[in-house]
A and B are shown apart, each in its own frame.
Chain A
Amino acid sequence: AQTVTQSQPEMSVQEAETVTLSCTYDTSESDYYLFWYKQPPSRQMILVIRQEAYKQQNATENRFSVNFQKAAKSFSLKISDSQLGDAAMYFCAYRSATGANSKLTFGKGITLSVRP
């Protein structure tokens, strides 16, 4: 079974600074997706960024980028120029790309606070 591990329960960053959130996963599959979801106090799950395992290039979305290390099974999220609105829980998630096991598996999440 696939597992996702987020070992840091909390992190804090100064506004306008850069922060990196860590995530590791375990799988025997070669074709899969990785995601970072943001959950603000409203509890809405918001997709931040998505990575396809077969792509070597790291995904980027504006101030958000990932460092995807497939061999190490590591998938960290870097937030540049942090803003107050970035404060939220962040969840790393894994999903198989084969149809047989299509559920999304989440890590425990990390609470990010942004200091003004």
Chain B
Amino acid sequence: NAGVMQNPRHLVRRRGQEARLRCSPMKGHSHVYWYRQLPEEGLKFMVYLQKENIIDESGMPKERFSAEFPKEGPSILRIQQVVRGDSAAYFCASSPRGPWDTGELFFGEGSRLTVL
């Protein structure tokens, strides 16, 4: 019974490159959330997606960042033209819907992005 799977666990990019982070939710979960954690800080909400829909992207930077959760396959957080300030740990979490939702979000182990 696999938990939330994120990959890669570590990603190094040079300024200007693109970063793609993937998240496979727990089996049976149709809701995915992305969070960013800067060093010595808490987790900041970025985006909330359901299959093929972005529900809440109020925490996403207006430029360079995008997210998707296609009908098939993992959710993808994409950062274009990365800058040093994008260096952070990116966490994905998932939850089931409806009556199976106990309120808890289940987190992956995070993807650490380092921009050189």
**Which residues from chain A sit less than 8 Å from chain B, CB to CB?**
33, 35, 37, 42-45, 47, 50, 52, 91, 95, 97, 101-109
Contact = CB atoms under 8 A, between A and B. Distances in A.
Interface residues of B, number: 25
Contact of B103 (A37, A50, A108): A50
Contact of B89 (A33, A43, A97, A109): A43
Interface of B: 31, 33, 35, 37, 41-45, 48, 55-56, 59, 89, 91, 93, 95, 102-105, 107, 109-110, 112
A101 B103 contact: no
Contacts, number: 54
Chief secondary structure at chain B's binding surface: strand
Contacts of A107: 42
A42 B112 CA distance: 12
A43 B91 CA distance: 10
A107 B42 CA distance: 6
Contacts of A91: 42-43
A33 B45 contact: no
A95 B105 contact: yes
A42 B107 CA distance: 13
